[in-house]
Structure formats: C-alpha cells, structure tokens
Chain A
Amino acid sequence: MQNKEMEFKTIVSKYCDMKPEDIKNDMRFREDLGFSSLDFMSFLGELEDTFDVELEEEKVLKIIYVSEALEILESL
C-alpha cells in the first residue's frame, strides 16, 4: 500500500473498529464500516487538514465507497 493510501486508511480506522490494512477499497463507509453521517463529515474535515486540501462539499457528500474517497484525494 502506498504511503498516502496508508495514511488515508489510518484516518478511516479512527472511526471504525478496524485496522488500516483490513480496510478494503470496495467497502462502503456507512453500511460496511459503520460510519454515522457525522463521522463521515468529521472524517472528510480531517482529510482536508491532514493532506492540506480543500474538498468540494457537494461532491464529497455523495461518496459511498472507500475507493471513491481515495480517488478524489489522489486527484487533488
């Protein structure tokens, strides 16, 4: 796993009872990882602060899968 992806999954792991290496890209934040809607918002804010990026709120709130969040992060 690349460093950025690992760092990303370490942040994901804070909000669920899973190790970063067990978080798969085809998992869904709410249904599979048990994120509450607010966990998800807080997680996105933490991504912004950690990677010093600005996320488009309307776009990121439509994210369902781990892979989608990773793709957006990679594209910035």
Chain B
Amino acid sequence: MLIRNMIEESSRKYADIKAVKWLQKKEILDINYAELLNDVIAVRKGLLSEEFAGKHIAIIGASSVEWIESYLAIITGKTVAVPLDAALPEEELIELINRSDAEALFLSPKNKSMINAVLSDCEKIKNVWMLQNDDFECDDERVKTFADIKKTGEKSDTDSECPDKDDIATIIFTSGTTGKSKGVMLSQENLATNVEFVEFYDEPGTTMLSVLPIHHAFCLVMDWLKGFSLGATLCINDSLLHMVRNMAIFKPEVILMVPMMVETIYKRIAAADQSIPKKVLAENVFGGRLRIIFTGGAHLDPFYIEKMAEFGVDVLEGYGMSECSPVISMSRPEDNKPGSIGRPIKNAEIAFENGEILVKGSSVMKGYYKMPEETAETLKDGWLHTGDKGYIDEDGFLFINGRVKNLIIMSNGENVSPEEIENKLALNDLIGEVIVTGENNGLTARVYPEQALVEAKKLDEESIRSEIQAFLDTYNKTQPTYRQITGLIIRKNPFIRSSTKKIKRQDALIDEPMA
C-alpha cells in the first residue's frame, strides 16, 4: 500500500474525524479526513494541469494545513517533494532549490522576503505558490497562492496516475560530514513501508500535537503520515514559544519530541510547587491527557523517562535517520528497556561492521541526489552505513555507544557538521586553527589564534577574545539557532596533530605544549 492508497483509505474509514486542527489567533480551526483528501486531490490535479508531472517541487515553511496538503498532493502524484528548512539563511535555501532541480515552490508567507531572489536566482522555477488562501499581491505572474492551484485542480477532470513503488517520492536534505548537505532520495516504497512497520497503533481520533519542524523526516513520517494512517487528529503547535499553552488547549495524548523538549517540559514540572498533586500538575503543564512521548534524534537521559512515568507518561525512545525513512528501531509501551533505543522494526535488518550499525531493508534510501561518491560510501551492497556504533543485547534491544562520523548530535535532534562550521570560522584572519565541539547543549569554538597576526598587532588575550567574539556574534546572526556558537575557548597551544598532520579531533580538549 503506497501513501496515496493509505490517505484514500483513511478518508473513507475516518471521513468525519478531524484530521488537522490549528489555531488562527485564538480560534481553533479544523478539517476532517474527507476534506483533507478533497484538497489533496485538487492540488494534485492542479499540478498535473500546470504540467509539473515528474518534476521536483520544493516546500518552504513551518507546519500548516496548506504545507501538509501540498506535500501529500506532490507525493501521491508522480511528482517529487523537496521539503526545506525555512529557518536556513536565504542563500542556502536558494542553493538547495537549485541543487534539487526544483521547478516550482510552495512558500510560506513568512518567507515572502525571498520571492525576488527565488525568481531571479532559481532559473528552473516556473511557479511559486504562497501557502495561503487569501490573495497575495505580487507583480510577477509566476507568483500565485495555494488557493489558485487548488482552484485550477478543481476545474480539471484529469487526475495524476498513481506513482510506482520505486518512484522517488521525496528528497530530504541532511547534514553532510564534508560540509555540503546531502539530498536523501526516498522512494514511495521507502516511505510507505516505514509507516507500515512502525508498530504504533491507537484509536482513530487520538489527539497528537505536532511540535517538531515538519521538514524533518521524523516529524513528517511519524507525526503526519503515521498519524494519518491511524485516523489520528494532528494538532499544529504554531510556535515553540507557546508549546505549553498549546498543550493546555489541544490536550494531546501523543507527542513526538526531541530530547531537549522533554528536558524543558520536565523543568516546568520540577519548578512547580511540589505540594500540588501530580494529576493537577500534569493538567497544567501538558493538558492532562498525555500518555506517550516518542523521542528520537538524540540521546535522552533515562532520568527523564523515570520522572515522566510518575506523571503517567511513557517516554519511548527510538532511533532513525533520514536515510532510513527514518525509523530504524523503536521502543513500545509494553516492550522496552531503559537506555536502549528499542527493537529494530520488522523491515530493518541489522548488522555490524567494526561496531558500526548497518541497516538493510525496504525503508533504506535509494541514494543521495546527484552525489554518487557519497552514496557509494554510505550504501554498500544494499547495507546503509549509519555512522553510529552500537550493539544488540541478548533480548534483541538495540543500543548506541558511539559515533564513527564527526557529526555533532544536538539534543534538539539537529545534526551539525563541525567541519562545515569550522570552514566558515576559518575565514577570519585571526583564527589560525579551530575545532567546533558540542558541549552543554550548545556549540563551542576552540580557537588557536593566528600567531603571526597576534604578534604583528601586539594583541593581548583580552583583545584576541573580544575580536573573535565580535566575529562570532556576526556569524551567529546569519545562522539558525542550532548552528550558533555559544562558547569560545582561546587555546594557548596548537591542536595535537596525527602523523598525517591532521588535527586529532578526539584530543581537541587537551591544551598542552607538544612534546
């Protein structure tokens, strides 16, 4: 069963159940499953009649009903969806639109400042549809709205044929260790089987609150696609500022989170007056109906799992990566082990090579878009090399105990490539050598200043620090939060290097004169 069949089946079985709920100012709006499918079909037909069959279409924006309807319209037709991170700097988004060969773009009104750059710098882009139903003022006739493409489709009699299981459904960008993000190609079968084999079942109408960025595979597949397959009601958290308030409004039963979110919620509970009964506290902080938090993307301290259990909430850890559509293993309410990331899902075959976890199966990607070398390095004989080290215990639970690649996993689940940032920081003349490390929930730059410049300008330690800090402040302003540098350490000695003269990253914290 492909995603198209799944959505059709849900709209038949759960026609009157609310599929999506969201806030507009203080009013709760919603659509049911029958309406969801109608919109999806209309947009899909619209894309076909505008001659986008077989083309790549990018989407930029935060979670919205228009976003998910556009995504579903693209992947249930013979078109390829390219969801991009709306928080990225404009020039990076332009580069990704071009590198993914997107020919059209769905764009959130919040990102409207980039329209001109898209139209002038993205040669292949033929249309931009703003993710809104109200009119949008623009002199360029290529710019229209979500309502326009829907209307075009409603007038058309011809629908797109169903994609084949091996067709690419989506390209999802992920951090690359060489500093260039890689486009993970997922087929129709990859996505559909991940939804199918994730063992989570709940009653139709179960309330889920979607708080993660929708362009991430974890949120997209586990919240939205899995949620829709169960007939769940997906509520949109409009801002992380209002996550706690929105939990009180929507009273979710299931939430997908990254570890940082569980930690923040727990701080709210721990800071409350301990004489307040737990049930009342649970109502105040997370709406009172929360049963399950699925977490993934980074390691969560088991302390939080125990503490949340006191409030009747099962925190279930899982493991995955975009390259596996994304779930590889997951814990279940009735079957889990603290510290483990659960059992592999049934379509994921696991093996180990020098301790590295390898995965094979129907959810493993087709490769990186237009990156044959990186694909060959990661996919060997059908085995995906995850870059994580781990083992399976005697009861069949998977554990992670290290990493092969240099990626820093932040507790919000974002993967940061230190080399990518180091290359940018090294552009400053005063930065002689730099290594970026992940510490205390943030990134720290460890810098050995360029000695020739220090001597020429006769800089003391304080002025070196303030000059580099000023440069970091400027750099931070151009970057999404997870790529900002929050710590600066000025080294007295150069980094320790290997016999091949490469900086030994594992020794980056040692600051001693070389023997």
- B interface SS class: helix
Contact A48 B267 (CB under 8 A): no
Interface residue? B311 (CB, 8 A): no
Which chain B residues lie closer than 8 Å to A41 at the CB level?
Answer: 239-241, 243
Stretch binding the partner chain, chosen from B132-140, B169-177, B481-489: B481-489
Q: What is the CB-to-nearest-CB distance from A56 to chain B, in angstroms, rounded to a whole number?
A: 11
Task: Indicate whether A44 sits within 8 Å of B241 (C-beta atoms), given known contacts A30-B442, A39-B264.
Answer: yes
Task: Indicate whether A45 sits within 8 Å of B244 (C-beta atoms), given known contacts A14-B271, A36-B411.
Answer: yes
Contact B263 A49 (CB under 8 A): no
Contact B243 A36 (CB under 8 A): no
Interface residue? B261 (CB, 8 A): yes
Interface string of A43-76 (1 = CB under 8 A from B): 0111011000001010000000000000000000
Interface residue? A42 (CB, 8 A): yes
Contact A38 B487 (CB under 8 A): no
| Complex partner residue of A57 from B239, B243, B245, B440, CB under 8 angstroms | B239
| Complex partner residue of A45 from B245, B263, B267, CB under 8 angstroms | B245
* Most chain A beta carbons < 10 A, residue from B241, B243, B261, B271: B241
Measured in the bound complex, the distance between the Cα atoms of B486 and A30 in whole Å is 7
Measured in the bound complex, the distance between the Cα atoms of B285 and A14 in whole Å is 14
* Total number of B residues with any Cβ neighbor in A under 8 Å: 24
Task: Indicate whether A38 sits within 8 Å of B440 (C-beta atoms), given known contacts A14-B271, A57-B241.
Answer: no
Contact B442 A42 (CB under 8 A): no
Contact B263 A42 (CB under 8 A): no
Interface magnitude class on chain A: 10 to 19
Q: Which of A6-57 contact B (CB under 8 A)?
A: 13-15, 30-31, 34, 36-39, 41-42, 44-46, 48-49, 55, 57
Chain A residue at minimal CB-CB distance from B258: A38
Task: Indicate whether A42 sits within 8 Å of B482 (C-beta atoms), given known contacts A36-B260, A37-B412.
Answer: no
Measured in the bound complex, the distance between the Cα atoms of B264 and A15 in whole Å is 8
Contact B267 A39 (CB under 8 A): yes
| Complex partner residue of A38 from B242, B245, B271, B412, CB under 8 angstroms | B412
Interface residue? B156 (CB, 8 A): no
| Complex partner residue of A31 from B243, B265, B267, B487, CB under 8 angstroms | B487
Chain A residue at minimal CB-CB distance from B441: A36
Measured in the bound complex, the distance between the Cα atoms of B243 and A41 in whole Å is 9
Task: Indicate whether A15 sits within 8 Å of B486 (C-beta atoms), given known contacts A49-B245, A55-B241.
Answer: no
Which chain B residues lie closer than 8 Å to A36 at the CB level?
Answer: 260, 263-264, 411-412, 441-442
Interface string of B257-289 (1 = CB under 8 A from A): 000110111011001000000000000000000
Contact B244 A38 (CB under 8 A): no
Binding site for A on B (CB under 8 A): 239-245, 260-261, 263-265, 267-268, 271, 411-412, 440-442, 481-482, 486-487
Binding site for B on A (CB under 8 A): 13-15, 30-31, 34, 36-39, 41-42, 44-46, 48-49, 55, 57
Give 8 CB contacts A-B under 8 Å. A38-B260, A41-B240, A41-B243, A45-B239, A45-B245, A46-B244, A48-B241, A55-B241
Q: Closest 9 A-B residue pairs measured CB to CB? A: A14-B271, A41-B240, A37-B481, A45-B241, A36-B441, A38-B264, A38-B260, A42-B264, A41-B241
